[in-house]
Amino acid sequence: MIKKIIMKAIKFKFLSVALGISLLMISSCSKINEFDDTNVNPNAPTIPVPSALLSNVLAVIGNNVWGNAIAQTSALYCQYCSETQYTDASRYTDPNLGWDGYYGGPMYDLQGIINYNTDPATKDLALIYGSNANQIATARILLDYYYMVLTDTYGDLPYSAALKNNPTIAFDKQQDVYPALINDLKSAVAQFDAGAVFQGDFVYSGSTAKWKKFGNSLRAILALRMSKINPTLGKTEFAAAITAGVITANADNFTIAYPGGNYRNPVNNYYVITQRFDYAVSKTITDKLTALADPRISKFGHTSKGFPYGLSRDDAIAWSDVNADYANLLAYTSTPQTFPFHVISAGQVWLARAEAAKLGWTADDATVAYNTGISASMEQWGISAAATTTYLAQSSVMLNGANDLQKIAEQRWISHYPDGNQGWAEWRRTSTAANPNGYPALLPAPGAGKQIPRRMAYGPNDPLYNPTNWNAAATGYTVGGVKDSQDARVWWDKP
């Protein structure tokens, strides 16, 4: 059993490092640092338990796939989901969602792991939980993942000076953050050593080989996301990441396996425990799956009937009144609590490799990578090999030299379901001036009078507690006279 030896005073001291927001506010946002001070020797050194911090981070990371407000809103923007009654977000009302819970929660914990394994006063005490190098490398890779999610959501953000004891923090440009993340991933992967594995790791059980593959896979995804804005750097880093070794089989997926009970899949928790039914599978994706005769449709929702996307509240309620059999997310009735979530999977990486091969970035065979990626995704969702073979044989699916990049992009969009963070990013990346609807062709909510958002506006606390730096960043995202506009494009989202 993990011993909880952090005193509350220590917790509050170090919560002050996140983004210059008030201590009270950050402590209310973080739900994973609720340690008590019972049975603590006041004369003993008091340091965080790195294994507990890692477990805390891994326990909530599945919410980035679907579960927290940013992930859910992203899933609406890329039309994995539809709102069934309160339809403001899918009709592009500014969600006004902040990042406080990220910086003050899992990212703070990850920085704590790094700090206590590098500080000469505490690094020896941390050795009981694994080698210093393995703890630091693991935390760095996860921290890079979180920065990727946030910068893809907002654009410029606090990075180089974040998670330090600064009252106000400048926002780094995304064009600087991306190369920095790639370099940090390379350094972190190289940092693992042959020492004791990091305890508290219930994803990879401390396997440094699998953590390296995860880190290299993140590096490849970041590199490919630069395909329109910096293809030279993207090509170099993508090819190097593949050579270094990425996830190639589902056994190496970054998977959150939910045991059920008090720790269950967030979708099941949403429907069964909270008894909320505000989200359904979007008709956009069920139509696409139906057109492709895609057997994953039986897994994405508990029925194959998608809910029309972006309806007004009145229209949504009227439609649901006569269509009660619409699809709730995932086939949660057959796997109610233990449905696993995949942060990064083999299918997603292989499909990224297929696109890179088509771009001439690697020597991979694009067709082989494409078929392997789809097959891995099918296997991940429990689809039989026979059904997969039939699917791949369809002219609408197979690569044949015509519209290959479109087919790859659409399969990448399907493979990320229900992870709206990744699905929205991939869709934005395929949208250009010549192809404004992207792949797949997503249309804005009918009658909303707005386009699909290209980014999320900064949260409400930034102009209150970091106004100068917020203003500088927000001004850079001005569209039509509106500062901090959700219609502005992040750096890699080149028209």
Say if CB 66 and CB 418 are below 8 A apart. yes
Whether 45 has a pLDDT exceeding 60, the answer reads no
Indicate the helix (H) or strand (E) that contains 137.
Answer: helix 132-154
pLDDT tens sequence across 86-126: 999 999 999 989 999 999 999 999 999 999 999 999 999 99
Between CA 245 and CA 214 the distance in angstroms is: 9
Whether 333 has a pLDDT exceeding 90, the answer reads no
The residue-averaged pLDDT of 252-267 equals 95
Pairing of strands 341-344, 254-256: antiparallel
Say if CB 108 and CB 14 are below 8 A apart. yes
* 123 vs 19, higher pLDDT: 123
Instruction: State the pLDDT at residue 44.
Output: 47
The pTM of the full predicted model, rounded to 2 decimals, is 0.91
Whether 42 has a pLDDT exceeding 90, the answer reads no
Residue 38 pLDDT grade (very low, low, confident, very high; cuts 50, 70, 90): very low
Nearest to 155 by CA among 481, 478, 413: 478
At a CB cut-off of 8 Å and minimum separation 6, what does 344 contact?
214, 217, 218, 221, 247, 253, 254
Residue 273 pLDDT grade (very low, low, confident, very high; cuts 50, 70, 90): confident
Indicate the helix (H) or strand (E) that contains 388.
Answer: helix 385-392
Q: Which of 39-43, 268-272, 283-287 has the lowest mean pLDDT?
A: 39-43
Instruction: State the pLDDT at residue 332.
Output: 57
Instruction: State the pLDDT at residue 168.
Output: 86
CATH code: domain 1-46+98-242+431-436+454-495 is 1.25.40.390
Mean pLDDT across the chain: 90
Burial 272-293 (b: 16+ CB within 10 A, else e): eeeeeebbbbbbbbbebbeebe
The residue-averaged pLDDT of 329-333 equals 74
* 23 vs 238, higher pLDDT: 238
Between CA 82 and CA 305 the distance in angstroms is: 12
Whether 248 has a pLDDT exceeding 70, the answer reads yes
**φ, ψ for residue 432 (rounded to 5)?**
-130, 175
pLDDT tens sequence across 179-225: 999 999 999 999 999 999 999 999 999 999 999 999 999 999 999 99
Q: 449: which 2 tokens?
A: 């009078």
CA dihedral in degrees (404, 82, 59, 111; nearest 10)?
Answer: 70
Whether 20 has a pLDDT exceeding 60, the answer reads no
Instruction: State the pLDDT at residue 181.
Output: 98
Between CA 57 and CA 201 the distance in angstroms is: 10
Whether 357 has a pLDDT exceeding 60, the answer reads yes
User: In one letter, which amino acid is 118?
Assistant: T
pLDDT tens sequence across 55-76: 999 999 999 999 999 999 999 9
Q: What are the residues facing 157 on neighbouring strands?
A: 172
Whether 5 has a pLDDT exceeding 90, the answer reads no
Between CA 474 and CA 467 the distance in angstroms is: 10
User: In one letter, which amino acid is 290?
Assistant: T
Say if CB 160 and CB 172 are below 8 A apart. yes
Whether 320 has a pLDDT exceeding 70, the answer reads yes
Which residue do the tokens 């990448």 mark?
A: 412
Whether 21 has a pLDDT exceeding 50, the answer reads no
Between CA 6 and CA 286 the distance in angstroms is: 48
Q: Where are the domains of the chain?
A: 1-46+98-242+431-436+454-495
Residue 7 pLDDT grade (very low, low, confident, very high; cuts 50, 70, 90): very low
Between CA 445 and CA 462 the distance in angstroms is: 29
Pairing of strands 279-281, 81-83: antiparallel
Instruction: State the pLDDT at residue 335.
Output: 54
Whether 18 has a pLDDT exceeding 50, the answer reads no
Instruction: State the pLDDT at residue 192.
Output: 98
Cis, peptide link before residue 460, omega less than 30° from 0: no
Whether 226 has a pLDDT exceeding 70, the answer reads yes
Instruction: State the pLDDT at residue 12.
Output: 30
Instruction: State the pLDDT at residue 336.
Output: 74
Between CA 349 and CA 361 the distance in angstroms is: 15
pLDDT tens sequence across 378-433: 999 999 999 999 999 999 999 999 899 999 999 999 999 999 999 999 999 999 88
Residue 84 Cα distances to 61, 64, 248, 315, angstroms: 26, 21, 37, 9
The residue-averaged pLDDT of 426-446 equals 95
Q: What are the residues facing 292 on neighbouring strands?
A: none
Instruction: State the pLDDT at residue 300.
Output: 95
Say if CB 477 and CB 483 are below 8 A apart. yes
Residue 46 pLDDT grade (very low, low, confident, very high; cuts 50, 70, 90): low
Residue 345 Cα distances to 189, 255, 352, 381, angstroms: 18, 8, 11, 11
Residue 331 pLDDT grade (very low, low, confident, very high; cuts 50, 70, 90): confident
Say if CB 47 and CB 125 are below 8 A apart. yes
At a CB cut-off of 8 Å and minimum separation 6, what does 281 contact?
80, 81, 82, 300, 301, 306, 307, 326, 327, 328, 329
Instruction: State the pLDDT at residue 334.
Output: 56
* 413 vs 334, higher pLDDT: 413
Nearest to 405 by CA among 356, 349, 345, 454: 356
